[in-house]
């Protein structure tokens, strides 16, 4: 199966080489309080520092879809590896206040290796298969910044101008409707697939080949619940992904 799952935001580590420079620069390591934040009901409404639920979901999806997973092991509050280097939300406010030398080190230690690893894996898969479906897994806050409830359980973010991505997302929406009618699947919500992201960057890099990049974003209203039902929903989602991504025949050498 020419399918790759990635997770940008589920890591909980700090690179060893950055610990001392960050401490000397006055960056406060808030990780000690993350567990309490994650376990509280309010964490289902907003995004935590460490999106462990995205990491959990990506593991379950990759396992049951039978594909490879590349996950960023480092904390997303150091740098959002899915953003371009000029995006205003590349760094969290606390990191933006640090010296430029430290910010450059964060990029070279975290962002660059992760994106290079994804790019190399997609390149390798395209040498073997005629197409690759790349799914980037994230969660989104149950409430918007204005306090409104976010509608939908699963969002599929894609470029509507790319017919292959549109068709794949339509097929997955139909498959999920028949498999789990109560699951609310929305396309290009709560964001747009053409917004700044890792999949957008990969589309630009692999513009002349059959690369499909889709962000699968999960509403934290249910994604953060430590119950069996969450695992069951993720299994259904993974099985549907497998059904609409037929086995690709390896290309002749």
Give per-residue pLDDT as tens, 150-163. Answer: 889 999 999 999 99
Domain of 109, CATH number, reads: 3.40.630.40
pLDDT of residue 208: 84
Q: Which CA distances in Å does 127 have to 48, 134, 225, 253?
A: 38, 15, 40, 9
- Tell me: pLDDT of 119 over 80: yes
- Total of domains in the chain: 1
Q: State pTM to two decimals.
A: 0.91
Residues 6 or more apart from 5 whose CB is under 8 A from it?
Answer: 58, 61, 62, 65, 67, 68, 69, 70, 135, 137
For the segment 160-184, the average pLDDT, to the nearest whole number, is 96
- pLDDT of the residue at 39: 44
Q: Is residue 249 part of a domain?
A: no
Q: Is the dihedral of CA 97, 138, 142, 88 positive or negative?
A: positive
Share of the chain above pLDDT 70, in %: 90
Helix (H, G, I), strand (E, B) or coil at 196: coil
User: Is 252 part of any domain?
Assistant: no
Q: Which residue has the higher pLDDT, 42 or 89?
A: 89
pLDDT tops 60 at residue 241? yes
Confirm whether 114 is domain-assigned: yes
pLDDT of residue 142: 84
Residue 36 is predicted with a pLDDT of 37
pLDDT at position 49 is: 67
CA atoms within 13 A on the CB side of 92: 17
Average pLDDT, the chain: 89
Sequential DSSP letters for 219-231: EHHHHT--SHHHH
Lowest mean pLDDT among 8-12, 19-23, 44-48: 44-48
- Checking if the pLDDT of 239 tops 50, the result is yes
Distance set, CA 19 to CA 12, 58, 59, 104 (Å):
13, 27, 27, 14
**What confidence category does residue 35 fall into, taking pLDDT thresholds of 50, 70 and 90?**
very low
Range of the domain at 235: 3-244
From 78-82, 131-135, 147-151, 177-181, the region with the lowest mean pLDDT: 147-151
Residue partners of 14: CB distance under 8 A and separation at least 6: 22, 29, 31, 74, 75, 78
Any domain includes 50: yes
141 in a domain, yes or no? yes
Residue 89 lies in a domain: yes
Has residue 253 been placed in a domain? no
Per-residue pLDDT at 50 exceeds 50: yes
Task: Judge whether residue 214 has pLDDT over 70.
Answer: yes
- pLDDT of 251 reads 73
Confirm whether 158 is domain-assigned: yes
Give the per-residue SS3 of 78-98: CCCCCCCCCCCCCCCHHHHCC
pLDDT at residue 33, rounded to an integer: 44
């Amino acid at each position: 199966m020419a399918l790759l799952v990635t997770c940008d935001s589920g890591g909980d580590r700090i690179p060893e080489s950055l610990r001392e420079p960050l401490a000397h620069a006055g960056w406060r390591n808030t990780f000690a309080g993350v567990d309490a934040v994650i376990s509280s009901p309010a964490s289902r409404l907003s995004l935590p520092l460490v999106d462990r639920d995205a990491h959990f979901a990506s593991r379950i999806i990759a396992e049951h879809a039978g594909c490879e997973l590349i996950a960023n092991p480092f904390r997303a509050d150091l740098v959002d590896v899915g953003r371009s280097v000029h995006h205003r939300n590349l760094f969290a406010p606390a990191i933006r206040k640090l010296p430029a030398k430290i910010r450059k080190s964060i990029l070279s230690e975290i962002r660059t290796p992760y994106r290079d690893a994804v790019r190399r894996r997609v390149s390798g898969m395209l040498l073997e298969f005629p197409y690759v479906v790349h799914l980037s897994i994230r969660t989104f806050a149950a409430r918007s910044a204005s306090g409104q409830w976010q509608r939908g359980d699963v969002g599929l973010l894609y470029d509507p101008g790319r017919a292959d991505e549109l068709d794949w997302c339509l097929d997955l929406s139909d498959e999920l409707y028949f498999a789990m009618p109560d699951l609310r699947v929305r396309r290009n919500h709560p964001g747009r697939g053409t917004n700044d992201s890792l999949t957008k960057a990969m589309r630009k890099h692999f513009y002349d080949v059959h690369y499909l990049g889709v962000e699968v974003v999960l509403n934290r209203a249910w994604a953060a619940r430590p119950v069996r039902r969450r695992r069951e929903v993720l299994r259904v989602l993974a099985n549907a992904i497998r059904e609409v991504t037929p086995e690709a025949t390896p290309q002749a050498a």
